[in-house]
Amino acid sequence: MTIPYHAALTSAQLLAEHKVKLHYFGQPESGSCLLRAQLCGQQCKSKGGNTIPCYPSLLLLVVALPSELGSQPAAAALQLPSSEGSAATSSSAEIFSLDLGGISAIVLNGYDAVKECLVHQSEVFADRPSLPLFKKLTNMGGLLNSRYGRGWTEHRKLAVSSFRCFGYGQKSFEHKISEESMFFLDAIDTYKGRPFDLKHLITNAVSNITNLIIFGERFTYEDTEFQHMIEIFSENIELVASASVFLYNSFPWIGILPFGKHQQLFKNAAEVYNFLLELIERVSKNRKPQSPRHFIDAYLDEMDRSENDPEATYSTKNLIFSVGELIIAGTETTTNVLRWAVLFMALYPNIQGQVHKEIDLVVGPNKTPSLEEKCKMPYTEAVLHEILRFCNIAPLGIFHATSKDTVVRGYSIPEGTTIITNLYSVHFDEKYWSNPEVFYPERFLDSSGQFIKKDAFVPFSLGLQECVRYYKERSRFSNYMYNNVLSISVVI
């Protein structure tokens, strides 16, 4: 089954005909990026000879040009017009292929297509693409980039268990989050009313919540060594998303060049690796086997148990990779959402007033909220969900790959194909969201003002039960942190 060929368009035409607002809160890199799509008419064939969806093939080149698209314009290129310039048909818009510099990829647009692949065929789409960059950085190990199989299952199961045992599952952990909020407030007070960028303080506060689970301790906001590591993590995220680093996947031989952003990424990764290794050795010094105090202890216990198992995937390297990925996942995304939360409280004083009123009514003045009180604050919950929907913390999700040949809506997709889930399109899918471009928390409330869940609300993607549970549980304790920051932001 073939999708009609679409004639080439210039980047100016592409962006002019599809005015997609890219909701990203942060400092864009100097010289914002503009996606230039170079369309080619080559058809893609699966192993069986059936044509996989070619919407068209794209070679995406990112160039530093002035624009108003911010630093994450990728979503704009995922809504493509037809060859006649009109809107594409729904079937061809939901699934199409890209040629990312020689890497075959399939893009899933809209909730229906994403759900069909990640839920109804969850095991088939649970793999990760074997990209040269990921092989270089983690050898496809750890949590984020591990291939679907035993290692994937073991590491995610341990992560979920650790977040439950050492984090949100413990009543005392709520007190630790509240305590961190107080450190956060004290740090704000040091500025004595002077303007400052909240990013640094929010990053520290959020990171410390994750640190308590991973290392069993927090770091002061003045700890220069850890601050440096956080800065490197943030820089690495920008580097991985840059075009010059992504080119490494298409042309890994450029790794021999002594210059370029990829070399900076590799240098940063080595520095982080050594720092985390020293930190792991320090926090595990007084460890008592099978009496874990935090994620590090729990992982080392698993290493001990599987010591004589030649198929075991627990190792020191995978521990370091997992710790680094947990810090990034638990810090970067939540930090961005909380910055959005503060921004929206400033932009919409009427919404801020309603949130403030509800928190005061349920929690009381000068008190911090608890998870048990969350269900009594439907409007605040609706605001949190609308922030997550609107800001799109992970607009393209995490890249997946097919573990075997499959068929989706009549299209053949071969094993090993990279899958890009356009979560941006899910949260702005007009089939499920009325006026999606409008920030409107009431969409999560019923006629009686009670909070209602929405199927197409997938800020942490969809997938196998372990993955879903992990992100849902992380979201649960993150919501508590959001409540704390919302209660703080309405009085800043």
Q: Is 320 within 8 Å of 277 (Cβ atoms)? A: yes
Minimum mean pLDDT among 18-32, 377-391, 408-422, 466-480: which range? 18-32
Band (316; pLDDT cuts 50, 70, 90):
very high
Based on its alpha-carbon atoms, the radius of gyration of the chain, rounded to whole angstroms, reads 23
Q: Nearest-CA neighbor of 334 among 431, 471, 490, 232?
A: 471
Question: Of the segments 95-104, 134-143, 294-303, which one has the largest average pLDDT value?
Answer: 294-303
Flag whether pLDDT at 54 surpasses 80: no
Give per-residue pLDDT as tens, 406-434. Answer: 998 888 899 999 999 999 999 999 999 99
> Region 200-218: what's the mean pLDDT?
92
Flag whether pLDDT at 64 surpasses 50: no
463 vs 441 pLDDT, higher one: 441
Pairing of strands 418-422, 103-109: parallel
- From CA 73, how far away is CA 449, in angstroms rounded? 36
**What's residue 411's pLDDT?**
87
Q: Nearest-CA neighbor of 137 among 278, 250, 263, 259?
A: 263
Share of residues in the chain with pLDDT > 70 (%): 75
Give the start-end residues of each E strand in 416-467: 418-422
- From CA 293, how far away is CA 295, in angstroms rounded? 7
Minimum mean pLDDT among 128-132, 358-362, 475-479: which range? 475-479
Band (246; pLDDT cuts 50, 70, 90):
confident
Give per-residue pLDDT as tens, 8-43. Answer: 333 333 233 333 333 333 333 333 333 333 333 333
Average pLDDT for the chain: 77
Mapped onto helix, strand or coil, the DSSP state of residue 241 is: helix
Specify binding-site residues for heme: 467
**What's residue 463's pLDDT?**
61
* DSSP output for 92-117: HHHEEEEEETTEEEEEEESHHHHHHH
Minimum mean pLDDT among 57-71, 370-384, 472-486: which range? 57-71
Minimum mean pLDDT among 116-130, 181-195, 467-481: which range? 467-481
Specify binding-site residues: 467
9 vs 294 pLDDT, higher one: 294
Give per-residue pLDDT as tens, 267-289. Answer: 999 999 999 999 999 999 989 99
- From CA 107, how far away is CA 424, in angstroms rounded? 12
> Region 456-467: what's the mean pLDDT?
69
**What's residue 348's pLDDT?**
93
**What's residue 466's pLDDT?**
37
Share of residues in the chain with pLDDT > 90 (%): 39
Provide the sign of the torsion angle of the four alpha carbons 89, 93, 96, 98, taken in this order: positive
Flag whether pLDDT at 5 surpasses 50: no
390 vs 75 pLDDT, higher one: 390
**What's residue 257's pLDDT?**
86
Q: What is the pTM assigned to this prediction?
A: 0.80
Mapped onto helix, strand or coil, the DSSP state of residue 35 is: strand
Domains, the chain, with CATH or none: 92-490 (1.10.630.10)
Flag whether pLDDT at 105 surpasses 60: yes
